[in-house]
Amino acid sequence: MKDTFMNDILREECGVFGAVTNSDEAAGITYNALIALQHRGQEGAGIAVLKNGSILYHKDIGLVNEVFTPQVLEHLPSARMAIGHVRYSTTGTNSRENAQPMVTEYLKGRIATAHNGNVVNAAEIKTKLKEYGCDFAATNDSEVVSSLIAYEALSKEEIEDAVAEAAKQLRGAFSLVVLSSKNKLIAIRDPWGFRPLCIGKNAHGAAIASESCALDSAGFDFIRDIRPGEMVSIDDSGNVKSRMVLTSSHIGFCIFEYVYFSRPDSVVDGMTVYEARVNMGRQLAKEYPVDADMVCGVPDSGLEAAVGYAEHSGIPLVSGFVKNRYIGRSFIFPSQTQRDAAVRLKLNPLACNVAGKRIVLVDDSIVRGTTSAKIIRSLKHAGAKEVHLRISSPPFRHSCHFGTDIDSEENLIANHLSIEEIAEQIGADSLGFISIEGLKAACAGCNLQFCTGCFSGLYPIDIGRHTKSQFE
């Protein structure tokens, strides 16, 4: 069971990357890209390479630089094709078996699959594959996807057709990168467009990534986003082919990619994440103005929205915290006393700036409320006169079933308390959440329609009897 304190911190999902290059440096390129995607998952990492028709891989739990130590990096095979993955477990336990890429052998060869998302009908597919004789070592939906592709490849001449046929059977969120022993790298995005996926090129080859920031770090120029339902295939010469294989009457890009998940320097589906977040702050200032002395953002996810709030309101933007950037995965404490002090260890108020001040505090979300309460308490302990909390997402009232670790509804504070009651519970002098329509307006530069199910309870697809614990 996950720690209550840690459950109050919203988790990123996963990040995927794949590269084809003529330089035999695909593994190192992929490593650089995964470092850039580290914000999307901190529980596990892995790289698979294609070498002389064989797929070799290394994966483990931990951060990218923990899994790929200098000694491991030194022994990664030189290769022209590779894929990589950073993981946070929204389904399945955190174990080496569940780290990705998932590597699957079948009669015609071998594939490696990296997946970002959550397939809501994975349990049914797994049952069917077991009837066909498939074995499973992991407990996540990504292994199910990889096995399904391998099963379809048994009856298909081309691996692209196998990926397309498998994808037609999946319901839910999936941005996939598949490495085939048939000298192909294939990427596909679900027809609803839940999770981001983009393509880049340089003089040496082509690459696929969850975010454009990974293309930048790996030395590729961002070309475009992969469209919902589109499959892209790259051969060992770097030739890129594309075709639409999936369709849907509804598009549901996760709007929280702009609020929190994606890096500010990424361009996602036509809009810069930084611009979207600044717009959110401006919209918050319109919807929830307040008389105050300073605006500050909660590092790091509230900083850009704080810029927008200060700009629109005319209230000075002031640093309110010093962030300890040397606390990593070990930021999990065994005792309640240590957990109570955890926020202050990571974020310490600048008393010289906040003492005696009426503060507009800007953050990205409230899950359980415990973290917000501790941050507000620390500001008032440092002498803040008032703390007015402004949130750049609407209240979380419903679970996410498409790859975001939003807690069960009964644990979401906004599911059972009014905004006034939340403010009282967390110690805020006032509280304002951006409206759903206001958030959409802030992200109007996006080319896609949005999924706002975690706020409204209205999802682009029917989730059926899926539960978040099916693969736990």
Do residues 375 and 277 both lie within one domain? yes
Sign of CA dihedral 441, 270, 314, 379: positive
Per this entry, what is the length of the chain?
472
8 Å CB contact between 102 and 173: no
Q: What is the CATH number of the domain that holds 120?
A: 3.60.20.10
Do residues 382 and 439 both lie within one domain? yes
Q: Can you tell me the distance from the alpha carbon of 88 to that of 108, in angstroms, rounded to the nearest whole number?
A: 31
List the beta bridge partners of residue 232. 187, 242
pLDDT of residue 346: 85
Closest CA to 1 of 465, 411, 425, 463: 411
Q: Is residue 316 part of a domain?
A: yes
Q: Is residue 465 part of a domain?
A: no
Find the domain containing 331 and state its range: 273-456
Q: Is residue 202 part of a domain?
A: yes
Do residues 107 and 213 both lie within one domain? yes
Do residues 91 and 240 both lie within one domain? yes
Do residues 199 and 285 both lie within one domain? no
Q: Is residue 100 part of a domain?
A: yes
Beta strands 54-61 and 230-235: pairing type? Answer: unpaired
pLDDT of residue 325: 80
Question: From first to last of its 472 residues, what are the pLDDT tens digits of the chain?
Answer: 344 434 555 544 699 999 999 999 999 999 999 999 999 999 999 999 999 999 999 999 999 999 999 999 999 999 999 999 999 865 455 678 889 999 999 998 999 999 999 999 999 999 999 998 888 887 788 999 999 999 999 999 999 999 999 999 999 999 999 999 999 999 999 999 999 999 999 999 999 999 999 999 999 999 999 999 999 999 999 999 999 999 998 999 999 999 999 999 999 999 999 999 999 999 999 999 999 999 999 999 899 999 999 999 999 999 999 998 876 544 444 455 655 566 778 899 999 999 999 999 999 999 999 999 999 999 999 999 999 999 999 999 998 888 676 667 888 999 999 999 999 999 999 999 999 999 999 999 999 999 999 999 999 887 765 554 454 4
Q: Is residue 94 part of a domain?
A: yes
Tell which of 181, 215, 249 closes a domain: 249
Do residues 62 and 131 both lie within one domain? yes
Q: Can you tell me the distance from the alpha carbon of 399 to that of 120, in angstroms, rounded to the nearest whole number?
A: 13
Q: Is residue 146 part of a domain?
A: yes
Residue with tokens 């077991």: 130
Do residues 172 and 295 both lie within one domain? no
List the beta bridge partners of residue 294. 359
pLDDT of residue 466: 52
Do residues 279 and 224 both lie within one domain? no
Cis geometry, peptide bond prior to residue 300 (ω within 30 degrees of 0): yes
Beta strands 430-433 and 386-391: pairing type? Answer: parallel
pLDDT of residue 465: 57
How far does Cα 214 stand from its chain's mean position?
A: 13
Q: Is residue 105 part of a domain?
A: yes
**How many domains does the structure of the chain reveal?**
2
Burial 155-183 (b: 16+ CB within 10 A, else e): ebeebbebbbbbbeebbbbbbbbbbbbbb
The CA distances from residue 106 to 50, 145, 149, 367, 442, in Å, are 16, 14, 10, 43, 47
Q: Just list the catalytic residues.
A: 14
* pTM of the predicted protein model: 0.91
Q: Can you tell me the distance from the alpha carbon of 103 to that of 116, in angstroms, rounded to the nearest whole number?
A: 15
Do residues 306 and 183 both lie within one domain? no
Do residues 343 and 212 both lie within one domain? no
Q: Can you tell me the distance from the alpha carbon of 14 to that of 16, in angstroms, rounded to the nearest whole number?
A: 7
Do residues 242 and 143 both lie within one domain? yes
Q: What is the CATH number of the domain that holds 434?
A: 3.40.50.2020
Q: Is residue 468 part of a domain?
A: no
pLDDT of residue 2: 41
pLDDT of residue 93: 58
Do residues 173 and 52 both lie within one domain? yes
Q: What is the secondary structure of 258-315 as a DSSP string?
A: IIIIS-TT-EETTEEHHHHHHHHHHHHHHHS----SEEEEPTTTTHHHHHHHHHHH-P
